[in-house]
Each structure stands twice: as structure tokens, then as C-alpha cells.
Structure 1
Amino acid sequence: MTRKIWVFDTTLRDGEQVPGAKLNLYEKLEVAQQLKKLQVDIIEAGFPASSTGDFNAVKEIAKKVGNTDDIIITALARAVKSDIDSVFNSIKYAEKPLIHMVLGTSDIHVEKKFGKSKSQILDIGVEAVKYAKTLLPDVQYSTEDASRSDFEYLWSTIEAVVKAGATIINVPDTVGYAEPEEFGHLIYKLNDRLKNLNDKVLLSVHCHNDLGMATANTLAAIKNGADKVECTINGIGERAGNAALEEVVMSMNTRSAIYQAYTNVNTKEIMNTSRLVSSLMGLDVQVNKAITGDNAFAHSSGIHQDGLLKSRDAYEIISPTEVGLEDMELVLTARSGRHAVRNALEKLGFNHLTETQFEGIFTAFLELADAKKEVYNHDLYVIVENYFSKHDSTNQDLTNYSEHFYELIDLQVISNPIFPSASVKMKKGNIILKSSSVGSGPIDALYSAISEICDLDIKLIEYNINSVSRGKEALGKVKIQVEYKGEKYTAKATDTDIMKASALAYINAINSIVVEHLLPVK
């Protein structure tokens, strides 16, 4: 029997605890609105007792995002009256508010963190729930560090707070200590007792990733009766992070026969949500991250590309469109095989190449790929043109493509707080083009100068830079996304000069636009 799993997103609370990831009120509101589009069931909007700013952010989210009955808004409180009051006063504006409180149950927390007896801590929890119930009907109680707690004491706590009125019991693996079989067994035992005690109470889990098992533990809990999962976008969170929402949801979707459960999450909004959170928090997603990493649906191995072109399910268990991407990406590199290169050429209209012609073009492709790392469609046009100009200049189908593409010759960027400026020298075919511009910063000035030369209405959506090597000659990798006429284009470039890498990435994106919109019909 298929059952619904409730999705509780704590990106704005646990996720925001990452050093340097603090969001202001407007940024929190933007993320919350996107989480609503993603159709999570519950948004944990913050920890209102921690600061006035967080209180106000939670309050605005409750008013502007929680103003319909299709989303629950909550916030975290310790099991003390003042914290509970802060949560209530900030979330009470939502149509469906929920008070969430946390109190430890492990010996380490009870004895070393609180310095109290187990019975004292249990009484504090019960009184906190009773007080919260006077304010709102829905109360979640989290038994912090549950995975390292004595089972009978953990159960005694759960039994007591449920009798006091708790409507959701959350079982956290607070320090990522559990392993899937062990955690699944814990949830199975708790679920069995809880459903006999009160089958209306939801059983929830909150797993951390200190040993890399947050998603696995969460899925094990679902198989063993958990009704609700707590996750974050991109798996961000305290220390090594939390269970990644996108991994949990897509695992359930892809292996539905195993989990016999579903969520209400709109998976087509996963990538939009991931990119927004990454951008606003300044936390890059590792390239090989499951589901939301740059390489999650990119294929560069010739063997894999060949298999995918023959049958998508050879190396792809999830369609990229399911998570909001356009399609799989066959990245053309020196590792790409003949099948992938021929497929790319045919998509560009080169359908009638002889074997001799293709082999000559493929050899040129490998030479460029070794030098450039990644080959774009505009590079293929130039490779084909160069081949025919050398071997068959009378070919009637040959168009002078290179005159439509842009190439960087030189640049100069001046960075200062008063007058950031940039000058670029570029080539389009045999024409030399120059431009200078000022901007709000060096990258803005550089891109303004390039845009002035190209005369295209391009909007920069995303700009990321990472180091891909170490030492004095470290390589900087720049990845950008731009928008032109409603379509998005992603491009990358690598260089020891980050300004040059930035310029090359932007020009790669422009040349992709030229391929799609501005080339003469072949």
C-alpha cells in the first residue's frame, strides 16, 4: 500500500546554521516562496528566539508564505516558555502554524549538557508540551540525540509527551552516528509502540550526515514506518549537513516499488530551488553531488555516451526533466568517442559526412579537446569549416561560420572601489572589435564591455568561480548562466587568470546563443 510521506524542510533553520550562510529577511522570504512552489508540506522558517531579525523573518514568512492552507509554517524552540512564546508570536499569522520544540534524551545531553536527572528532563519536556498546547493545537517534539539514547528512556519520553498533547514526534540522529540497519530498527520499534499508543501522531526523522549516511538513514526510516522526513536543499546544515531533500524524494520516486510511499513535492522545481539556495547562501554544490550537482546528468565518457545514445536507460535512471533540467548533457571532451561527436555534428546539420571527412574532423576535434578541455557547438562549426577549407574548398554546402563567432584577443580590468572598469579586444571573423566600460564591480564592467561589442540583450543569471588546482599557478574555473530571449545558456572556462576565465565563459555563452539564434540557415 502506498502512503504519503510528509516533507519538512529545514533549510531556513538548520541549513542557515552553516557558517557564512546567513540570509537577510528578504532572502529568507524568497527561499520560502520557492519552497512553497516546490510543494514541501512544512517549512521551518527559523529560530525566532535567537534574534530580532530571525523573529521578524519568521513572522513575514508566516504572513506572506503561510497565508494559504496548503503549507504549514513552523519554527524552533527550546523547551522553555520564552522560546515557545517567540515561536508562537512569530508563526501565529500563518493559516496552519506548528510549534516545534527540542530537548535532548541521550545520557550525554541529559547529564553533560543539562546537568539534570532523566526524570527532571522528562518533566521539563512534558510541561513545555502542555504549555505549547494552550497556544496551538499542533506541536512537534524532537528528542535530540535520539540515536544515542537509552531506548526505554527515549520511549518513556515519547509516551509522556504524546499523552501531554504532542502531535508529531521527531527522532533525530543529531550527530550522524546511526547506520541504516540500526536506525531502521529503532524506527520500527518506536513506530510499533507509537501507533498502539496513538495512531494519529506522526513519527518523524531528522538525520545528519557526519558519516555520509543521512539520506540512507532517512530512507531506512521510511521503510520502517516513519511518516515524515526532515531535510534541507542540497543537504546543507550543521557540520557535514542534513539529509538532502532532493536525494530522499528522488530515491522514493525512482524506487517506488521498494519504498511504497510518495511525497507531494513538485520535483520539476528541484533545480530551481537548489540554485536559489546555493546562490543566496553562497554555498557551492559539489559538482558530483547526486541530483543537483553540475555533473549529475552530464556524461563525458565515450563508453557512457555511446550507451546513452543507443538507449537512455543504459546509464540514466532519472530523466533530467524530472528535476527541472532540459535534458541530459553530453559533454564533448577528449574522452568523448566517435558516436557522441558524430551525434553532435548531425544535430548541427552535418548529416552527410563521409568516413574520411568525419575521421579528419574527429582528429581535429581531439586536438582541440586536449587543449581546451571542453568543446562547444561553435567550436565544432569552426572545426568543420577549417577541415573543408583545407581539404575541399569547393564544397558547395560549406558556409563561412567562423565570421559569426567571437574570440577573445586581450583584456584589461581595473578593480577599485571607486571606478571599476574593463577594456576588451575581440575578434569576429577577421574583424577586430574593441570596447571599454565601467560597472559596479570588475566582472560587471568586463561583461558590460563584451555585451557592448556583441550587441545582444543578455541577462547574467548566475556566476560561480572555484579553484580547481593548488599553488601559484592555480586554475580558476568560472561557470555562468545567462538568459537570452527567455532561454538559458550555461558555459564554463578555466584559466590561471580568473578575469580571463570569466571573459572566456561569457564569450562561450554568447557563441552558444549565436549557434541557436544568429547563424545563417544551412
Structure 2
Amino acid sequence: MKRNIIVLDTTLRDGEQVPGAKLNVNQKIEFARQLERLHVDIIEAGFPASSKGDFQAVQEISRSVGDHISITALARAVKADIDAVYESIRIAQDPFIHIVLGSSNIHVEKKFNRSKDAVLQMGVDAVKYAKTLLPHVQYSTEDASRSDFDYLWKTIEAVVKAGATIINIPDTVGYAEPGEFGDLIRRINYRLKNINDNVILSVHCHNDLGLATANTLSAIKNGADKIECTINGLGERAGNTSLEEVVMALKVREDVYQCMTNIKTTELLNTSKLLTHLTGLDVQVNKAITGENAFAHSSGIHQDGLLKDKQVYEIMSPEEVGADSMELILTARSGRHAFKNAVERMGFSLNDDAEFEQLFQKFLELADLKKEVYDHDVFYLVTGYREHSTSQNQLYELLSFQVVTNDLYPTAAAKLRMGDEIIKGSAVGDGPIDALYSVIKTLTKLDVHLQHYKINSISRGKEAVGRVNIKIEYKGKTYSGRAMDTDIIKASALAFLNGINAALLDAVYNEEQRKEEIRLN
């Protein structure tokens, strides 16, 4: 009989800890809805005690998708953190509190500077308190793969007796290797079933040695019933276990693992694309499952074999992960029905007539520019429109611009709007982008410094859509901006403005927090 493996996605918590991957509330909700379409079992929505913004994001995710998916959030083993998790997820249908506390000698001695018994008691007290709030509590023994086994088991036994319903074994620093980690899970699973066979055994692996997927699969073979992953393997340092890799390994090698998941695999590529779009962090072209070349074959021998039978060199079809082998080509004459069909086929809901009409007009504009519009263009059109229309960081709006480039004086002029005020001006620079950014800096009167500029194509054809990612420094902090357009100069301007708007929003938020602290004191 096949076991069902519970899949927790922690992209919005562990994945978002990657520098440059910070998402706003609306972007998080959009991604959570895609995770709902992917049919993940649990979403770890964030770390609500870390900031007011993260608390709000977790709460909104619980409200948006919590009636269909179990929601959790991270807490340290302290009352304030546990309260923040509870208050942010309580409105969800099936919430649970996730508590993390170190169990290795280096964590106990260096991080907490306490005795092992004192740290163990912290964990027990935290679980007991969390159980007064919600019936289900997950306890993570941080850095378990480098922990003394006797102390690790003593901790697990104590927190299970205190009421923990899920025990999570993290390979926090990616230190373990598959045989070793599998043996650890086997030993824990055997003992755990003897004291309470209703407790779920979970794993959370990092990829510092490139072994996260292998370690997770080894853990499944040795009794783990729940896995924690991220889309595209996003996560701190070298990242986390890649959800798409583990899920497809279980599906393709079902004969070996005798396990299944609830994941709708045809949504894997859409989910990967959406995360790339929201964070601006590209997937390497040869990334398993979701990389651009994952199903590409250039070798003549391979191509010959594929033409004779796809199974010669393909162990899974592109369609299984949502990569259509044949795309629907749309034009400006395709009409509303064809466009709506293409959008809904990707899993997007278009119940709002006004939103659909606005999207259709955007589609017509794109079709006039590109002539032929493919599925990937439609995907970025919808996600880009929704991010723009719901985003709060459109403080400055680009009304128009002009760039003149030459060997002597590259010049740019721009007109911006902020509220009811319209401002315009011009500037020269070392090149067209430098001139454009110089005039925007002048008009916004902000001393920002460009740290990173990157442009790449996100669609095919000679009228490809270009995406620009930038990072700027403002008052010692780094902010990201992203934009896309068939006009790469316009995309560059919008990305720069979005970065500036992110900095301004952060300043407004900090001022609101300062006023709130003054009011409370």
C-alpha cells in the first residue's frame, strides 16, 4: 500500500530569507494562491514575530487560502513568538504552531549559552503553552543532523509527552549525507512509533552540499511522512530541498519509494515561473524539472532516439510538469474567448468581469507589439498586471519618457506623477540607461545608488518581453525593483522607480512604527 507524503511548502518563510527575495503582502498572497492551485498540504506562511509586516502577511494568507490549506508559521520557543503565530493563523481552518529550538551542542553552548537540560525545558514549556492555544504543534530540533543522538531523542521524547503532534528533523546546515540521514530517521521513527504512533515524523533539509533532495528522499524511504520544501529550492545559503524534484522523484520512481503526494504536478512549472517573476531570481537553465533546458535535447544521438520513441531519453514528459509541448498561439484577432481559455488553462481565476476586460485590453496591446502571443507571454501578462494593480509600491508613476543616445551627450527626459503632482525634467548620462536613471533621481530628489542591473528575456521571438531587475542602496539599505516590457528602456525605468517606491514605503512603515511606539510608551 502506498504511503501519502505530506508536503509543506516553506517558500514564504525559509525561501524569503534569501537576500533580494523579499515579497510584499500582495505578492505573498498571489504566490499562496498558486500554492493552493499546486495542492500543497501545508503553507508555512512566515515568521510573524519578526515584524509587523510579516505578521500582517501571514494573517492575510490565512484569510485568503486558509479555508483550503493548512497554515502554519514559525516561532522560537518563547511566549511572545507563539502568541504572534497563534494570532496570525487562528482564522485558518486547520492551523498549527511551529516551534523551533536548537538541539546540537554548538547551538546549545554557543547560541543559548545554557545547559542542555535548561534548553530542553524551554522546548517542553513552549510546547505545553502552544497546546493551550491550538491542538496541533510541530517541534523542530534545529541542527538535528549534528546533534548527539541521546540528547536529541531525550528532547523528542519530552516534547511528545508535552503534546507535540509533529516532530521535524532538520538538516539545518546541509551537513548530512543520504545514508547517514536515512539511518537517523529510521532510528527516530522506530522509537517514535513505540511511544506515540500518531505523531508525524517530518524532515527539513538544506542544500549546502547539494544533497537536500537526496537526503529528503532517503528520509522518506526510512519512515518520514512529511517533508518541508521550497519551490526552485529557494532558501538560505545554498537553498532548501526543491519541492519539484522530490515530488517528481516519488512519481517517476514510485516502484522504489511506494509513496505518493497530493501535488498537482502540471502546476509545477507555473509555480516556478511565478516565483521567478515575483523575486527576480532566475532558475539555472539546467535545473532539474523546471529549468529551461530540463526537456531540451541538442545531441544528435539524443534527437534521433527521441524521434523514434520519446522514452529513449525522457523519463517523464514535459506535460507532466506543466510544460506544454505545443503552445496555443494567440493574435490580436483571437478574441476574448480564446484569451480567457488560455488564462484559465494556466489555473488563474477570472471571475471579475472588470478585471478580465482590463487584462484583455493589455493583451491586445501586447498582441499589437508582438504579433504572436504565446502561453508564457500570457502567464507574465496576468501575473505582471495583478502585481501592478494590487501593489502598494506604486508611489511614483512613470507617465512618459524620451531617451536620445549618441557618442557625446546621451540624454533622457521623463515625466512622473506622485499623487496629484506631475513633475518633469531631463538629464545627461554616460549612456541611455544612466541618463534615464539620472533624471529619475533628480525628479524624486532621492540620493539612491544603483548597485545591480540585470536584463534578460522572459519570452521567445524577436519581439520578446524583457525583464529588468535592479538593486539600489538608499540610506544604507538595499531595495529591489523589477519590471517587464517589450521596451527594455521602459522596463529599466519602471524597475528603477519600483525600487525607489519600495524604499519610500519602508520609510513610511518605519515612521508609523516609531509613532506607534511613542504612543504606547
Q: When the two structures are superposed, what TM-score results if normalisation uses the length of structure 2?
A: 0.66
Quote the Cα distance in structure 2 between the aligned partners of 1:480 and 1:211: 30
Residue of structure 1 in register with 2:359 after alignment: none
Quote the Cα distance in structure 1 between the aligned partners of 2:462 and 2:210: 33
Quote the Cα distance in structure 1 between the aligned partners of 2:459 and 2:39: 25
SS at match of 1:234: helix
Deviation string, structure 1 residues 73-126 (Cα, Å, up to 9, x no partner): 000000000000000000001011110010000000000110001000000000
Quote the Cα distance in structure 1 between the aligned partners of 2:98 and 2:312: 45
Matched, 1:480 2:478: no
Query: CA shift at 1:306, angstroms?
Result: 1.2
Residue of structure 2 in register with 1:443 after alignment: none
The one of 406, 409, 420 equivalent to 2:401 is 420
Query: CA shift at 1:417, angstroms?
Result: 7.1
Residue of structure 2 in register with 1:459 after alignment: none
Quote the Cα distance in structure 2 between the aligned partners of 1:421 and 1:181: 61
Query: CA shift at 1:328, angstroms?
Result: 8.4
SS at match of 1:93: coil
Query: CA shift at 1:257, angstroms?
Result: 0.6
Q: Which runs of 5+ in 2 are unaligned?
A: 328-371, 373-396, 405-413, 417-453, 467-484, 489-521
Residue of structure 2 in register with 1:237 after alignment: 235
Quote the Cα distance in structure 2 between the aligned partners of 1:478 and 1:108: 43
The one of 180, 204, 213 equivalent to 1:206 is 204
Question: Structure 1 residues 73 and 87, CA, compared in 2 at 3 Å: closer, same or farther?
Answer: same
Question: Structure 1 residues 58 and 327, CA, compared in 2 at 3 Å: closer, same or farther?
Answer: same
The one of 64, 79, 96 equivalent to 2:77 is 79
Aligned CA RMSD, in angstroms, stands at 3.0
The one of 149, 153, 156 equivalent to 1:155 is 153
Deviation string, structure 1 residues 211-231 (Cα, Å, up to 9, x no partner): 000000000000000010000
How many residues are aligned here? 362
Residue of structure 1 in register with 2:165 after alignment: 167
* Runs (4+) off by over 6 Å: 501-504
Decide whether the 8 Å contact of 2:398 with 2:415 is kept in 1.
no
Residue of structure 2 in register with 1:216 after alignment: 214
SS at match of 1:140: strand
Decide whether the 8 Å contact of 1:2 with 1:260 is kept in 2.
yes
Residue of structure 1 in register with 2:27 after alignment: 27
Quote the Cα distance in structure 2 between the aligned partners of 1:82 and 1:41: 27
Quote the Cα distance in structure 1 between the aligned partners of 2:7 and 2:298: 34
Question: Structure 1 residues 421 and 180, CA, compared in 2 at 3 Å: closer, same or farther?
Answer: same
Quote the Cα distance in structure 2 between the aligned partners of 1:84 and 1:210: 29
Question: Structure 1 residues 502 and 37, CA, compared in 2 at 3 Å: closer, same or farther?
Answer: closer
Question: Structure 1 residues 248 and 133, CA, compared in 2 at 3 Å: closer, same or farther?
Answer: same
Query: Quick check: which has more Rg, 1 or 2?
Result: 1
Quote the Cα distance in structure 2 between the aligned partners of 1:439 and 1:273: 36
Decide whether the 8 Å contact of 2:189 with 2:223 is kept in 1.
yes
Quote the Cα distance in structure 2 between the aligned partners of 1:89 and 1:237: 26
Decide whether the 8 Å contact of 2:399 with 2:415 is kept in 1.
no
Decide whether the 8 Å contact of 1:168 with 1:202 is kept in 2.
yes
Matched, 1:178 2:176: yes
Matched, 1:195 2:173: no
Quote the Cα distance in structure 1 between the aligned partners of 2:464 and 2:316: 23
Q: When the two structures are superposed, what TM-score results if normalisation uses the length of structure 1?
A: 0.65
Decide whether the 8 Å contact of 1:298 with 1:328 is kept in 2.
no
Task: Report the AA paired with residue 285 of structure 2.
Answer: V
Decide whether the 8 Å contact of 1:477 with 1:492 is kept in 2.
no
Residue of structure 2 in register with 1:413 after alignment: none
Query: CA shift at 1:419, angstroms?
Result: 4.1
Question: Structure 1 residues 35 and 417, CA, compared in 2 at 3 Å: closer, same or farther?
Answer: closer
Deviation string, structure 1 residues 152-172 (Cα, Å, up to 9, x no partner): 100000000000000000000
Residue of structure 2 in register with 1:15 after alignment: 15
Query: CA shift at 1:307, angstroms?
Result: 1.0
Decide whether the 8 Å contact of 2:9 with 2:40 is kept in 1.
yes
Decide whether the 8 Å contact of 2:173 with 2:206 is kept in 1.
yes
Residue of structure 2 in register with 1:52 after alignment: 52
